[in-house]
Amino acid sequence: MGKLYVTLDTEMDADIHWHKSNTPCFSSVLEGIPNYLRPIWDQYQVNPIYFVSPEVAENELCCNVLKNEIKKGAVIGAHLHPEYIEPEKKGYREGVPSEFPCFAYERDIEKEKLKNLVTLIENNLGVKPMWYRAARFGADDDTIAILKELGFRYDSSVTPCIDWSKKGGPDHRKGMIRSYYIRGNEIYSSSDKKEGIKEYPVTIMGKRWGVLGRLLPDNWLFYKWIRPSHMTYAEQKKMLKTAKKSGIKDIVMMFHTMEVMINKTPYVRNSFMQSYFLWRLRKTIGYAKKMGYSAQIQGS
C-alpha cells in the first residue's frame, strides 16, 4: 500500500496577484481549515501536513486552530519564508517579494532563520517540526545540510521537472519523482542507506496536454502536478493511475491554505470556483484512496 501526503503551505492570505498586505490576514487558517478542509480530512481520514510559515506561527488565533488540528492527527512542518523572520527580517511591507531561502541569504543566515522558525513553532505549537518545505521550493545542498544539523528528518522542497532559475531559484529538473533518502547533502542524489534526510518530492510528471504541451513555454503551470489549484480531476486521476502502474509508493499533493478562499489567490474568484476547487480536492483524495494510497501518516 502506498501513501498520499496531503501537504499545505500554510501562510497569510494573499490577493489574486499573490501580493501580501502590510497587515497580515489569516482567513485561510481561521476559516478555511476548520470550515472547508477539516470536513474533508474527517471524511477521508486524512492526516495533513501543514508547512507553517513564521507569520502564522506568531499569530495566537492561528496557533489555536493548528493545535486543534494536531489533536486530530495533523502534522506540523516548517515553511521558511525568510523575509518574515530574523535575522535580517523584512516584514510585511507591501511589495516585499517572496524570497528563495537558499539563494537570498548566505548559508549561516539561512540556518539562523530556520533555527528561529523551529523555536517559534516549538514555543507556540508545542511540537518540534520534522518536516520541511522551503518557500518557493528554494532548497539546495546547503539547505539539506542545515536540516540535518537542526534534526529534521524529511524534506519536500523538490519539484521534479521544474526549473525556477529564471525567477532566481533552484533548477529542480534533476529531481526524482519517487521519494528517496538523500546521499550526503546532495539534494538530487539518492542513497541506499535509510538514514539522513528523506526527500518527498512534490508529485510532478512532465508537461500537460501531450504534444501541444511540449510546445508551450517552460512555465510551472504547464506541468502535471497533484495539485487541485490548477489541475483538473481527470488529469490528477490519470497521474495516479500512472503512479500506481509505475510502482510509485509515495504521492505528494500540495497547495496553499489560502487557495481554498475567495480572492486570496488567482485560483478561486467566486463561490462556484471555490466549490469546484473543493470538489477536485475531494475527488482526487477519494480516488487515491481507492487506488490504495492511504492518507494517514505519522509526524515523525
pLDDT at 28 over 60: yes
**Cα distance between the two ends of the chain:** 19
Q: How far is CA 99 from the centre of its chain?
A: 15
61-76 burial code (b ≥16 CB/10 A, e <16): ebbebbeebeeeebbb
Cell numbers at 213, concatenated: 504541451
Element housing 131 (H / E): strand 131-132
Provide the residue type at 29 as one letter: V
Question: To the nearest 10°, the Cα dihedral for 11, 99, 228, 176?
Answer: -130
CB distance 59 to 282 below 8 Å: no
Give the torsion sign (CA, 196, 223, 13, 252). negative
The 10s digit of each residue's pLDDT in 241-283 is 999 999 999 999 999 999 999 999 999 999 999 999 999 999 9
The 10s digit of each residue's pLDDT in 157-175 is 999 999 999 999 999 999 9
Contacts of residue 58, defined as CB under 8 A and 6 or more positions apart, other chains included, come to 120, 124
pLDDT at 99 over 80: yes
CB distance 66 to 58 below 8 Å: no
Looking at residue 81, its pLDDT comes to 96
* pTM to 2 decimal places: 0.96
Separation between Cα atoms, residue 8 and residue 37, nearest integer Å: 11
Looking at residue 227, its pLDDT comes to 97
Query: Which CATH code is given to the segment(s) 2-294?
Result: 3.20.20.510
CA angle 194, 200, 206 (to 5 degrees): 130
Give the confidence band of 299 by pLDDT, cuts at 50, 70, 90. Answer: low
Average per-residue pLDDT for the chain: 95
Mean pLDDT over 289-297 rounds to 93
Looking at residue 96, its pLDDT comes to 65
Mean pLDDT over 177-181 rounds to 97
Looking at residue 258, its pLDDT comes to 96
The ranges assigned to domains in the chain are 2-294
Cell numbers at 235, concatenated: 488529469
